[in-house]
Amino acid sequence: MDNPKAFLTSLYQAAVAAADPLTGLRAHLPSPPRGRTVVIGAGKGAAQMAQALETLWPGPLQGLVVTRYGHAAPCKTIEVLEAAHPVPDAAGLQAAERLMAAVQGLTAEDLVIALICGGGSALLPAPPAGFGLEDEIALNTALLASGAPISAMNALRSHFSRIKGGRLAALAHPARVVSLVVSDVPGDDPAQVASGPTIPRQGDTAAALAFADRYQIPLSAAQRAHILADQGPQPTDPAFARDHVAVVASAARSLEAAAGHCRASGVEAVILSDSFEGEAREAGRFHADLALEVARRDRPFRKPVVLLSGGETSVTLRGKGRGGRNTEFLLAFAGRIAGQGGIDALAADTDGIDGIGHQAGAFADGSTADRLRECGLRIDDCLDRNDSGTAFAALGDLFMPGPTGTNVNDFRAILIR
**Over the stretch 174-215, which tens digit does the pLDDT of each residue have?**
999 999 999 988 889 999 999 999 999 877 898 899 999 999
Q: What is the pLDDT of residues 149-177, one digit of tens each?
A: 988 999 999 999 999 999 999 999 999 99
Alpha-carbon span 78 to 244, nearest angstrom: 21
Element (H, E) at 307: strand 305-311
At residue 358, does pLDDT exceed 90? no
**Amino acid (one-letter) located at 313:** T
**Amino acid (one-letter) located at 90:** A
Q: What is the pLDDT of residues 367-388, one digit of tens each?
A: 999 999 999 999 999 999 999 9
At residue 355, does pLDDT exceed 90? no
Are 411 and 349 in contact by the 8 Å Cβ rule? The answer is yes
pLDDT band at 282 (very low <50, low <70, confident <90, very high): very high
At residue 356, does pLDDT exceed 80? no
Q: What pLDDT is stored for residue 182 in this prediction? A: 96
Among 123, 116, 103, smallest CA distance to 179 is for 116
Q: In the chain, how long is the greatest CA-to-CA distance?
A: 67
- 27 backbone dihedrals φ, ψ, rounded to 5°: -85, -5
At residue 327, does pLDDT exceed 80? yes
* CA angle 50–55–60, rounded 5-degree value: 80
At residue 262, does pLDDT exceed 90? yes
Q: What is the pLDDT of residues 5-20, one digit of tens each?
A: 999 999 999 999 999 9
Distances in whole angstroms, Cα of residue 349 to Cα of each of 16, 127, 136, 394, 410: 10, 28, 25, 20, 5
Q: What pLDDT is stored for residue 151 in this prediction? A: 87
Q: What pLDDT is stored for residue 2 in this prediction? A: 86
- 64 backbone dihedrals φ, ψ, rounded to 5°: -155, 155
Alpha-carbon span 38 to 277, nearest angstrom: 35
| Residues in contact with 144: Cβ distance below 8 Å, sequence separation at least 6, in sequence order | 86, 87, 317
Is 213 buried (19+), middle (13-18) or exposed (0-12) by CB count in 10 A? exposed
At residue 1, does pLDDT exceed 90? no
Residue length of the chain:
417
Among 298, 303, 288, smallest CA distance to 368 is for 288
Alpha-carbon span 339 to 33, nearest angstrom: 62
Residue 1's CB: how many other CB atoms inside 10 A?
13
At residue 98, does pLDDT exceed 80? yes
Alpha-carbon span 94 to 393, nearest angstrom: 36
Q: What pLDDT is stored for residue 204 in this prediction? A: 83
Q: What pLDDT is stored for residue 3 in this prediction? A: 96
Alpha-carbon span 277 to 293, nearest angstrom: 22
- 316 backbone dihedrals φ, ψ, rounded to 5°: -85, 115
Alpha-carbon span 390 to 376, nearest angstrom: 12
**Amino acid (one-letter) located at 215:** Y
Q: What pLDDT is stored for residue 279 in this prediction? A: 95
3-state helix, strand, coil in the chain (%, to 5): 40, 20, 40
Residue 58's CB: how many other CB atoms inside 10 A?
8
Distances in whole angstroms, Cα of residue 301 to Cα of each of 127, 265, 282, 298, 305: 50, 18, 21, 6, 7
Element (H, E) at 362: strand 361-365
Give the chain's mean pLDDT. Answer: 95
Q: For 125-149, what is the mean pLDDT?
A: 94
